[in-house]
C-alpha cells in the first residue's frame, strides 16, 4: 500500500488549498474522480465574503450570518469564520488570486442578507474560476501528487482510526489502496440529486456517502439551498444568474411584467435565498408559468458587461441580451448546508478523518447559508485542519457536538407496491418534485420508501456511474429522512404541513449508520 501523511479526496478550492498547506508538513496525495478542474468552485460567480472594508467588521458579518442561519448556526464556528476571514483573503492574494480592484483597493459588492458590501470578486462574475485556476497552478508547480480519474470508494478504518482509502481507477477499473495518517474529505456536495441544479455533474454526494458508510455522523441534511435564479431555457443546462445581479439593482418580474418581490417581503429582491426561492415558486404557480424574469435593463450598460461578463456572454450566446431584455429564471438546487459533522478543527467522530467544504457541516451555515460564505468557510477551516494535525491531532476521535442534537439511525422501510427502476433521471425528478423547495409528509414518505428499496436492491457498484448512483441514493435517503423528521419549517427547509418554525425544533438532526 502506498503511504502518505495526507490523502485529500477532491480537487476544488477545498482540496487544493488544503493540499498547499499540508505539503509544508508531509507527503500529500490528491484523489479526484475527474480532472483537477472538475469542481463546483469553478462555477462560483458571486464571490467570497469577508469583512475587510472600513465600513464593515467581523461583528456585523457575524450577526448577518447568524440571522441567515435561522437559529441553527454554531456561534463558535461563525465567530471563527468572521474573525479569520481577512487573513485567509490575504493568503489568496499572496497565492496570486486577481481580485477586482477599484481605485487601488479590492472592490466589494452587495448580496442579499448582507448589511454592507463585503463580497470580493475576480473577473467580475468568474471568482470561483480564478481561485480554482490560481490554486491548481500552485499545486502543479509544487509537485503535489494528483491522481485524476480516480474515485474513492471506501474509507479504511482499523481500531477506530482511519488507516487509508480504497479507490477505483475509472480508466482501468483497477482498485488500489492508499494509506495515510490523515484523510481529508473535500469532494463537494450533492446537487445532482435534483433535476434542476446549478452544480456540475461531479456533485454526487461522494464524500458524505463515504463518511456515512465508515460510521461518521451526518447532520442537517434536510437543509438544501435552492438558488432563486438559474437561467431557464428549453434544452439549456441551468446556468447561475448570480445573486449579485440583484445586489447591483436587478429586479424580479413575473410573466406579466410585475415586480413581485415587494408583495412577499419588505426586503424585496434582496431577501434571503429561501424566501426569494419560495416567492418565485408561488408566483410561477399563480401565473401558470415555469419561470419569472430578472430585469437588469435599467442598469448602466458598462456595469452589466464589466461586472457580469460571464453571465452577459453566456446569455448572448443563447440569444439574450441582458442589457436590453428580460432574462428567464427559476430556482435550482445549489448548496448542501448539511454534511459530515465536524468540530471547529474539521475533525469528525472518527479519528484521523477530517472534512471540509460542502462535504462538511461545520455549523457555520445553520438552516440557510448566507450568500458567499461558502468559499471563505473552506479557507478558514482548511487552515484549521492543518493547524490541528500539525499540533498532533488525537488518535482517539474527539467529541463533536452542537448545542442540541437528536440522533437517528436509518431503518428499512416498506417496499412500495409500484417501484420504479433506479436511474439518475428518475431519482432527480423524484427529489425535484417531492423533496424540493416545498415539502409535505406524503411526498417525503413516498421518496423515503423508494430510496430505501433502491438502496436494498442495488447490486454492488463496479464503475463510476454505478458508484455515483449508489452515493446519490444514499444522500437522497439522508436528505429525505431528515426532512421527514423535522416537523416544522426553518430556513431552507419548508413543510407545507408544518409551515411555521417551532421553538422545540431549534435543534439538529444527526443521522448515523
Cell 498547499 sits on residue:
20
Closest CA to 137 of 33, 39, 11: 11
Q: Kindly state the cell numbers that stand for 313.
A: 456572454
Query: Residue 183 carries which DSSP code?
Result: E
Q: How far apart are CA 439 and CA 475, in angstroms?
A: 17
Look at phi and psi of residue 113 and say left if phi exceeds 0, alpha if psi is from -120 to 50, else beta: left
Q: How far apart are CA 203 and CA 222, in angstroms?
A: 17
Active-site residue identified among 42, 246, 273, 495: 273
- b/e per residue, 76-96, with b = 16+ CB within 10 A? ebbbbbbebbeebbeebeeee
Q: Kindly state the cell numbers that stand for 282.
A: 408561488
Neighbours of 389 (CB within 10 A): 23
Q: Which helix (H) or strand (E) holds 219?
A: strand 218-219
Neighbours of 234 (CB within 10 A): 6
Q: Kindly state the cell numbers that stand for 477.
A: 435517503
Full 3-state SS string of 311-365:
HHHHHHHCCCCCCCCCEEEEEEEEEECCEEECCCCCECCCECEEECHHHEECCCC
Neighbours of 161 (CB within 10 A): 15
* Three-class SS state of 30: strand
Q: How far apart are CA 135 and CA 405, in angstroms?
A: 37
Q: Kindly state the cell numbers that stand for 134.
A: 490560481
Q: Kindly state the cell numbers that stand for 198.
A: 446549478
Please name the residues in contact with 234: beta carbons below 8 A apart, sequence gap of 6 or more. Answer: none
Q: Kindly state the cell numbers that stand for 91.
A: 493568503
273 is known as an active-site residue:
yes
- For the annotated catalytic residues, the residue numbers are 273
Amino acid at each position: 500500500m502506498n503511504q502518505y501523511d495526507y490523502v485529500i479526496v477532491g480537487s476544488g478550492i477545498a482540496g487544493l488549498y488544503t493540499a498547499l498547506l499540508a505539503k509544508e508538513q508531509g507527503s500529500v496525495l490528491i484523489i479526484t474522480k475527474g480532472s483537477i478542474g472538475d469542481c463546483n468552485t469553478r462555477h462560483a460567480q458571486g464571490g467570497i465574503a469577508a469583512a475587510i472594508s472600513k465600513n464593515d467588521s467581523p461583528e456585523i458579518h457575524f450577526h448577518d450570518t447568524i440571522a441567515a442561519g435561522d437559529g441553527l448556526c454554531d456561534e463558535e464556528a461563525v465567530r471563527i469564520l468572521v474573525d479569520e476571514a481577512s487573513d485567509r483573503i490575504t493568503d489568496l492574494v499572496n497565492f496570486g488570486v486577481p481580485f477586482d480592484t477599484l481605485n487601488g483597493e479590492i472592490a466589494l459588492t452587495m448580496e442579499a442578507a448582507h448589511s454592507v458590501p463585503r463580497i470580493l470578486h475576480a473577473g467580475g462574475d468568474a471568482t470561483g474560476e480564478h481561485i480554482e485556476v490560481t490554486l491548481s497552478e500552485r499545486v502543479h508547480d509544487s509537485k503535489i501528487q494528483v491522481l485524476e480519474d480516480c474515485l474513492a470508494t471506501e474509507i479504511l478504518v482499523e481500531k477506530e482510526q482511519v488507516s487509508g482509502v480504497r479507490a477505483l481507477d475509472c480508466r482501468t477499473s483497477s482498485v488500489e489502496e492508499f494509506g495515510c495518517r490523515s484523510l481529508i474529505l473535500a469532494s463537494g456536495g450533492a446537487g445532482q440529486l435534483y433535476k434542476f441544479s446549478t452544480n456540475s455533474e461531479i456533485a454526487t454526494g461522494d464524500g458524505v456517502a463515504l463518511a456515512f458508510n465508515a460510521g461518521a455522523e451526518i447532520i442537517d441534511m434536510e437543509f438544501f439551498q435552492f438558488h432563486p435564479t438559474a437561467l431557464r431555457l428549453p434544452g439549456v443546462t441551468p446556468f447561475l444568474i448570480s445573486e449579485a445581479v440583484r445586489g447591483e439593482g436587478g429586479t424580479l418580474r413575473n410573466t406579466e411584467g410585475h415586480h413581485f418581490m415587494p408583495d412577499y417581503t419588505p426586503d424585496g429582491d434582496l431577501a434571503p435565498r429561501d424566501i426569494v426561492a419560495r416567492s418565485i415558486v408561488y408566483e410561477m404557480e399563480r401565473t401558470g408559468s415555469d419561470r419569472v424574469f430578472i430585469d437588469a435593463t435599467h442598469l448602466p450598460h458598462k456595469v452589466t458587461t464589466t461586472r457580469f461578463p460571464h453571465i452577459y456572454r453566456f446569455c448572448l450566446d443563447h440569444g439574450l441580451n441582458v442589457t436590453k431584455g428580460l432574462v428567464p429564471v427559476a430556482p435550482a438546487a445549489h448548496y448542501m448546508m448539511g454534511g459530515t459533522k465536524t468540530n471547529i478543527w474539521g475533525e469528525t467522530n472518527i479519528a484521523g478523518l477530517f472534512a471540509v467544504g460542502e462535504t462538511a457541516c461545520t455549523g457555520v451555515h445553520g438552516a440557510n447559508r448566507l450568500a458567499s460564505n461558502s468559499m471563505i468557510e473552506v479557507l478558514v477551516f482548511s487552515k484549521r485542519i492543518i493547524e490541528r494535525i500539525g499540533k498532533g491531532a488525537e488518535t482517539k476521535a474527539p467529541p463533536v457536538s452542537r448545542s442540541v442534537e437528536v440522533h437517528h439511525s436509518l431503518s428499512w422501510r416498506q417496499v412500495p407496491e409500484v417501484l420504479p427502476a433506479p436511474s439518475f433521471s428518475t431519482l432527480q425528478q423524484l427529489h425535484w418534485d417531492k423533496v424540493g423547495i416545498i415539502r409535505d409528509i406524503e411526498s417525503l414518505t413516498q421518496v423515503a420508501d423508494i430510496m430505501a428499496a433502491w438502496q436494498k436492491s442495488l447490486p454492488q457498484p463496479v464503475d463510476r456511474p454505478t458508484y455515483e448512483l449508489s452515493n446519490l441514493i444514499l444522500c437522497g435517503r439522508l436528505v429525505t429522512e431528515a426532512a421527514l423528521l423535522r416537523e416544522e419549517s426553518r430556513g431552507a427547509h419548508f413543510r407545507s404541513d408544518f409551515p411555521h418554525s417551532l421553538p422545540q425544533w431549534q435543534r439538529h438532526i444527526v443521522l448515523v449508520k
